Amino acid sequence: MADVPDDALMVMLAKLSPGALLSVSTVSRRFALAAEPTFKQACREHHWVQPRMPRGAAAVTRHFPWRSLYRQHACRACGNLGEFPVRRSHAGSLKFLLCKGCLGLDWVQKRLQAAEGQAGLCVDLVGITGKRLLRKLPKKRNRGPGQGAANV
């Protein structure tokens, strides 16, 4: 691969799917540098911008900022755009995103269940764009006087 020019490598990597590109960009620094323009283009298509540095803060050099920005919005399992946030608790901060297709996969569900016992992971039923994971969301029902409401 050392004989392949950087321009040709960039063209080849631009033809990969987002998930494959995320995987390939971790192979070597050269591949990551060649994939960076593709990540930049994908981020700009979705109108994602790099966060601004606070005034007076020292410049932190990240080698691959566009790959990092894309990864924040990508499904942890397949690398495509993620929709449903996974959190440590119901009101906790966002840990990562999963797409609807991957949430239906057995191996993803098993990993979430295994992690749930350790870390208490929760999947939001409404995605970041307003899509619902289930056709009907569970309703709150009253148990009776003085017993409060419970999610079913």
| Residue 57, pLDDT score | 59
Going from the first residue of the chain to its last (152 residues), give the mean pLDDT of each consecutive group of 10, the final group possibly shorter: 83 89 91 92 91 66 84 91 88 88 90 74 88 74 48 36
Q: Torsion angle, CA of 126/129/130/132, rounded to 10 degrees?
A: -50
| Predicted TM-score of the model (pTM) | 0.73
Q: Which 3 state secondary structure label does DSSP give 148?
A: strand
| Residue 149, pLDDT score | 37
| Residue 19, pLDDT score | 85
Question: 76-97 burial by CB neighbour count: b if 16+ within 10 A, else e?
Answer: bbbbbbbbbbbbeeeeeeeebb
Question: What are the chain's domains?
Answer: 1-47+63-73 (1.20.1280.50), 75-133 (no CATH)
For residue 75, the tally of other CB atoms under 10 A from its CB is 23
Q: Which 3 state secondary structure label does DSSP give 81?
A: strand
